[in-house]
């Protein structure tokens, strides 16, 4: 089963908010985050690229990429719906997403999601094109640690 990425359009804000609500309940249950407000902020920022993660016609997750200065990126949010996890779909989506934007990346890992820590620790160690993988301090109080790494583009074996 293969996955694909599709841009989330600003007109899909309500749908995106409905997906963000359970996501925030999972990764930051004590944070007071308004999914409606947050979805509007993310979909209308010029420095954010938002993607649906799809399997055929079904939306099975999403990813938010923050475009930083000097052609660097941060994986701000990444989620696969619980019923689609542990099938290799998240790893496929991560590979597609990261190869879309070769270069320097960073990401913080939610303190409330030990599954995310296990997923990204394994995923980043086996994905092709990943180099200079480092673990670091969290970016926020809601995170347990961070990763930074470099992705080589498909034309630069």
Residues 103-150 pLDDT 10s: 999 999 888 888 888 899 899 999 888 999 999 888 888 888 999 999
- Using alpha carbons only, give the angle 48, 114, 6 rounded to the nearest 5 degrees: 30
Dist CA 72 CA 87 (whole Å)? 30
- 9-40 pLDDT, tens per residue? 999 999 999 999 888 888 777 778 888 888 88
Q: Are 142 and 31 in contact (CB under 8 A)?
A: yes
Residue 154's pLDDT is what?
64
Q: Kindly state the average pLDDT of the residues 71-86.
A: 90
DSSP string, 3-69: -EEEEPPGGGHHHHHHHHHHHHHHH-TTS---HHHHHHHHHT-TTEEEEEEEETTEEEEEEEEEEET
79, 61 in Cβ contact below 8 A? yes
Q: Per-residue pLDDT for 157 more than 60?
A: no
Give the closest residue to 128 by CA, choosing from 107, 149, 111, 106. 149
Determine the pLDDT at residue 113. Answer: 82
Residue 97: its pLDDT value, please?
Answer: 92
Q: What is the pLDDT of residue 111?
A: 83
Query: Domain 4-151 classified CATH 3.20.20.30?
Result: no
């Amino acid at each position: 089963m293969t996955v694909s990425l599709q841009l989330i359009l600003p007109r899909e804000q309500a749908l995106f908010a409905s997906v963000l609500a359970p996501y925030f309940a999972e990764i930051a249950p004590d944070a007071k985050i308004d999914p409606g407000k947050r979805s509007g902020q993310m979909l209308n920022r010029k420095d954010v690229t938002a993607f649906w993660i799809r399997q055929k016609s079904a939306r099975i997750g999403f990813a938010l990429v923050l475009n930083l200065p000097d052609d660097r990126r941060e994986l701000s949010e990444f989620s696969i719906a619980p019923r689609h996890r542990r099938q290799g779909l998240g790893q496929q989506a991560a590979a597609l997403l990261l190869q879309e934007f070769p270069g320097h990346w960073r990401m913080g890992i939610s303190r409330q999601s030990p599954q995310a820590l296990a997923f990204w620790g394994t995923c980043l160690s086996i994905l092709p094109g990943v180099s200079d993988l480092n673990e670091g301090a969290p970016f926020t109080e809601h995170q347990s640690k961070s990763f930074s790494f470099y992705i080589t583009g498909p034309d630069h074996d």
